[in-house]
Amino acid sequence: MAVAEAGAVSSFETEAAKDARLAWWREARFGMFIHWGVYSALAGEWKGQRVEGYSEHVQRLCKIKRADYLEEVVKPFNPAAFDADAWVRTAKEAGMGYIVITAMHHDGVAMYDSKVDDYNVVKTSRFGRDPLRELKTACDRAGIKLGFYYSHAIDWSLSGDPRYPEPNGPERRLACVERKALPQILELIENYHPALLWGDTPHLNPKELNERILLAVRKADPNLIVNGRLAGASHGDYLTTADRPAEFGLMRGPDERDWEAIPTTNESYGYHAFDKSHKPPAHFIRLLAKAAARGGNLLMNFGPRGDGTFAPEDQTILQALTAWWKTNGEAIRGTGRTPLAPQSWGESTLKGNRLYLHVFNWPADGRLLVGGLDAEIIQARLLATSGEKLAFTRLGADVEIRLPARAPDAADSVISLDCAERPRGGGPLLMQPAMPNDLSVFTAELLPAPTSKGSWKLGKGTSLTSHVQGWSKPDYAVRWQARLAEAGTFDVIARYDAPDAKGKTQVDTIGGKTTTTSGLTFGGDVLVSLGTQTLRGQVAETGLDVALPLGRVTLGAGPIEIKVSAGTITGQELMQLKSLRLVPVSP
């Protein structure tokens, strides 16, 4: 790319331009990601071979030739039950303010009427309809923004296509961008006017090609939001998390002002009939609150079936989201990053002078302590009981709210605090005397601080990697700063992963989960210091999400440093620590 072109790209990245583009996206906070293509009809299986991982990767994983894919997958595709209005209505009722759908995934099949290439569902499949045109009409009618995912750096359909050079490499990537990817992206912008363009796997394209695409996109529509996977995070309007996040940190970095998490209901993005690992609805309700509390969006993925309908498991999740949103949606839509430190009871979101408390863990004694809240509270209301007013008391730096005996919503009961001024907060985590206190490594300080190329770091936050990695040296440690408003006695439990080096276990790959051997050995002595007291345990048990009881401590009121360190390391690594749990013990 010439210097002038590089400058043109960066000129679109002023804060004023970015703020204008992102205004609706920041307001929405919640969206629906849809992975749907001709692969959906295969449902994760090809001629009796079941795919492990992402079902949308079936062509790659099963090594299906282009000619066979065309004849046996593309041409027969006929989702007769597809109803764009029903999809959009479902998303809107669940609280989603925007939809992003795969306009073309890695298989190279366009899901719209492309004039650039006939390898699309309108011209080549039995279906013969343009689902993106129907979705655009339905979204416009419902007031929902529509965005398109486009695989600009991977296209398996090029292999065996005489129009493109063999083998795959820079020459083919250039030909693909010039003849197909860029023309189709511009075609989508001109003919469908999307609000967002979602790129993927930019590292598989030469940097100059990604920047060329971005420059063309910015010229075609300066108001179009572009995610961080088109030309790299530094050129995108926002940061995208790793695939399938189940956990994320406080997101306070300079590049984490705007970000988006992309969880999926099971472990596949496309429909997979054999993947029954669906998380419960409460998982997603809480993940949504956590994302909003940290200033991010949740783009929650669903993979409709090959006939165009949502699977029963996904419908159950959507129904639960709809019910929760009907009562509590105001605590997500239009909210911003919380001013509070992490709280043991849940999360909080902010809208003007109103603070929403998302209570995941209901206190057994009916006393909810809000740690470090600096604001004069006018009133406290429980949203689930028609705004029932709650009594509250200022206790120094904290606020105590009196709650009913039972939580109105087991997943997330929301309390609205109206304040006289914009609330402020700070300080360390406040330990709660009447509920378990879970200290996640994603809210901890890693010692020493991880480096960009080092193995000592946090995992990606998926269900298999919500832990620290690379604990190979005895001077590594994990530390939290906390505080107790009153003295208490606690049982201390460490939770960690330590897959058996020789046994079969699941690991994350670029195509989702797969079963293999970890190859790593774990073991040693773990030390947990809580102020002046130290507990010791032995990492001997292997497996995932292992609970290691460490003992009981009595802690006094006031600030406390909690640190997990290694005594000895007998394996290649000590363990993959996930969290430390302090459970109150009744007198």
- Domains, the chain, ranges and CATH? 3-327 (3.20.20.80), 346-427 (2.60.40.1180), 437-584 (2.60.120.260)
Tokens at residue 415, please?
Answer: 């309390």
Distance of CA 585 to the CA centre of its chain: 34
Calculate the alpha carbon distances from 580 to 99, 384, 478, 496, 545 in Å. 37, 31, 10, 9, 12
Q: In this prediction, what percent of the chain has a pLDDT beyond 90?
A: 88
- Number of helices and strands in the chain (H, E): 11, 32
0.85 exceeded by pTM: yes
Q: Give the ranges where 71-149 is alpha helix by DSSP (H).
A: 84-93, 131-142
Residue % of the chain over a pLDDT of 70: 98
Task: Indicate if the alpha-carbon torsion angle 291, 292, 294, 299 is positive or negative.
Answer: positive
Model pLDDT, residue 3 = 34
- Rounded mean pLDDT of 442-463? 96
Q: What is the DSSP string of 374-423?
A: BS-EEEEEEGGGTTEEE-EEEETTEEEEE--SS-S-SS-EEEEEEESS--
Residue 9: pLDDT band (50, 70, 90) is low
- Distances, alpha carbon 140 to alpha carbons 82, 134, 415, in Å: 18, 10, 33
**Residue the block writes with tokens 């300079």:** 254
Which pLDDT band holds residue 46 (cuts at 50, 70, 90)?
A: very high
What pLDDT sits at residue 6? 41
Residue 167 has pLDDT above 90, yes or no: no
Per-residue pLDDT of 323-358, as tens digits, reads: 999 999 999 999 999 999 999 999 999 999 999 999
pLDDT above 80 for 12:
no
Block residue for tokens 């700063």: 481
CB distance 471 to 575 below 8 Å: yes
- Say if residue 155's pLDDT is above 60: yes
Ranking 416-425, 511-520, 521-530, 544-553 by mean pLDDT, the lowest is: 511-520
Q: What is the CA radius of gyration of the chain?
A: 25
Indicate if the pLDDT at residue 25 is higher than 80. yes
